Amino acid sequence: MTLDVNDTKVKRKRPYLLTGGLAPLFKNRYRLPLSSSSIKSLEKIELEYFMQFKEMMKDHITNDEQGKYSWDVRFIPSLEIEEKISSVVAQNKNSRPIISFDDVYCTNIAQGHYSVTRLANPFNLNCSDFPGPRFGKKSLDEQTQDILNNFGKHIDLMDVGVFCGDTLIREVEQRFTKKGLKINNVYVAFAGPQGIKNLREAGINLKYSEAIEWVDWLEMRDCIGFDGRKVMHKSENKEVYNAFVKYTEKLDDWASIPQKYQDQFKKLYTCFFYKINKLLEEDGYTAKLAPISCASPVHELKLIKLTK
């Protein structure tokens, strides 16, 4: 419920997280050889987006069971995320291999990766999401067997953050445990109170750097066309690096963006996709984002090497 923006009596704020990570996304997931100057430029673009997003939402007031509150939009750059995860791991260091649910951050810490995400049904976006592999990766069962074969039964897990912990708990209970894997510690940069409670009740030992009761958490790559809500999709075209439904399709559900701000959000989406594409061209690549058909919300992201 959105309230009168002129209500000046609202003092309570709740954090809305906006995480960066564009440079490690291109480097670690998409394997693009970015120059150091491009990496710095991407970090500046992240700050620019944050400032415009924060300005857009500055008058937004809503409420929960405790009453009215406004959003405290908080930007967390990739360096801060990596420092938090590295610190948590260092404080609880042991000999067990670490398997990361994330393929963007702290790739030097994890010994292996488990590529899992929430998949949307492109034929009915109102359906509940379900777990599945990221674009181009093996099935979850195959990945689980590979982890067991390559690292043995005793492992730790790592991710960026947990809100309610449903994905993590489900994979541990319904896949890892059934394969004979034993999970000791789970390392994250930040955790929501409900996630901390749920993982504790599930018998999972969560280690986190910061507890945050956030309104929502949006990764910047989902705001500007370089990632989105994943779907089951295969492509033989080597220029296709990802396939997803744009967050602009369901901003209220997927990003908690009220209707009155959605047109402005969509303008920022297009503007910053263009900005980043111009930057990529300096390193010899161009990005194209297009629907797979006129009747489908699924878009393919192509990263094409420019010819000289």
Q: Which residue, 260, 267, 277, 105, is CA-closest to 187?
A: 105
- Domain boundaries defined on the chain: 13-77+215-237+245-283, 81-208
pLDDT-derived band at 129 (thresholds 50, 70, 90) equals confident
Asked if 56 and 16 count as a contact pair (C-beta separation under 8 A), the reply is: no
DSSP letter (8 states) at residue 177: G
- Is pLDDT of 4 > 70? no
Question: Residue written as tokens 């280690």?
Answer: 207
Per-residue 3-state assignment (H helix, E strand, C coil) for 206-240:
EEEEEECCCCCEEEHHHHCCCCCEECCCCCCCCCE
Amino acid symbol at 230: K
Count the Cβ atoms, other than its own, within 10 Å of residue 234. Answer: 8
Residue 39 tokens read as: 């990496």
Cα–Cα distance for residue pair 130/202, rounded to 1 Å: 20
Percentage above 90 pLDDT, the chain: 86
Cα–Cα distance for residue pair 71/259, rounded to 1 Å: 16
Asked if 158 and 114 count as a contact pair (C-beta separation under 8 A), the reply is: no
Q: How buried is 139 (Cβ within 10 angstroms: 0-12 exposed, 13-18 middle, 19+ buried)?
A: exposed
Output the CA–CA distances (angstroms, integers) from residue 234 to 91, 101, 138, 231, 292, in the order listed.
40, 21, 11, 9, 11
What tens digit of pLDDT does each residue of 269-282 get? 999 999 999 999 99
Out of 3.90.930, 3.40.50, 1.10.10, 2.60.120, select the CATH number for domain 81-208: 3.40.50
Q: Which residue, 145, 220, 156, is CA-closest to 188?
A: 156
pTM of this structure? 0.91
Asked if 50 and 268 count as a contact pair (C-beta separation under 8 A), the reply is: no
pLDDT-derived band at 298 (thresholds 50, 70, 90) equals very high
Percentage above 70 pLDDT, the chain: 97
Cα–Cα distance for residue pair 90/86, rounded to 1 Å: 6
H or E, element range at 157: strand 154-158
What tens digit of pLDDT does each residue of 82-118 get? 999 999 999 998 889 999 999 999 999 999 999 999 9
pLDDT score, position 10: 80
Residue 42 tokens read as: 């991407």
